[in-house]
Amino acid sequence: MNTEKSFQPWSGYLAVLVLALLLAGIIYSAVQEMIWPFLAAMFLFILILPGLVVVNPNESRVLVLFGDYRGTIKKNGFFWVNPFFVKKKISLRARNFDSKPIKVNDKVGNPIMIGLVLVWKVEDTYKAAFAVDEYENFVVVQSEAALRKLAGTYPYDNFEDESAEVTLRSAGDTVNHQLEKEIAERLEIAGIHVIEARINYIAYASEIAGAMLRRQQASAVVAARSKIVEGAVGMVEMALNQLAGKKIVDLDEEKKAAMVSNLMVVLCSDESARPVVNAGTLNP
């Protein structure tokens, strides 16, 4: 037997009734000074009493008799079982594991800090009790191991690996699904059901965070400049076409070049342009 099986216990209230009758017999025997009935009733009372067990909602009791697994009580209530059973309590409630950020290397070798939050619960009490040693610690160790493996599978971002379509920072749902799958496979041996697993913290490690921030800022500036230049070229082209089409002024190539230069400076400058009024003539 290497899987969970259900155990049907006796009613605890019936056992209490029997205990009450035995207690009455103990008192009566003591008053009447009947030694053997007194000892027999006392022995049965002491024997039956440890068999009482209370199972709260979303809790269970794993029952073992002299090293033999006899079953699990999952039904909540007040019961009586063999007093020689070892009754191990295992909670069936959903639990959270919020890991502290750990330092790992991503796919391209950059040190990063990454953490996860895991929602889990015990599904198979036999595996949780006997397949692993301390299943709660097993959840913590295997979850962090799965997180380390996942971090080494993908890059933090695509600055150094531009061909990467999935990154730890941008592909949240894909990465979280892969993390949940990896943890579920590792915890299946312990009878643990993974309800949800997701990355809740990710950042570059402190030793490279400053350099990576400056690189990201530089990339943003370059992207913004490229957009500005693209827009400025379009505006200059539109201005030249409209001047030529409406025949407002006739410009030779040299004057067109000067106009393009001035417009590009004005449109691409970080500061506001200061207009200069030409009181003379444009013609030589």
Q: Which pLDDT tens digit goes with each residue over 96-111?
A: 999 999 999 888 888 8
pLDDT value of residue 275:
61
Instruction: Point out which residues pair with 118 in neighbouring strands.
Output: 97, 197
pLDDT value of residue 252:
66
CA distance 73 to 61: 5
pLDDT value of residue 251:
66
DSSP summary character for residue 67: T
Residue 109, token pair as written in the block: 């070798």
DSSP summary character for residue 134: S
Residue 67's CB is within 10 A of a number of other CB atoms, namely 6
Give phi and psi for 202, each to the nearest 5: -155, 130
Where residue 209 falls among pLDDT bands split at 50, 70, 90?
A: low
pLDDT value of residue 92:
95
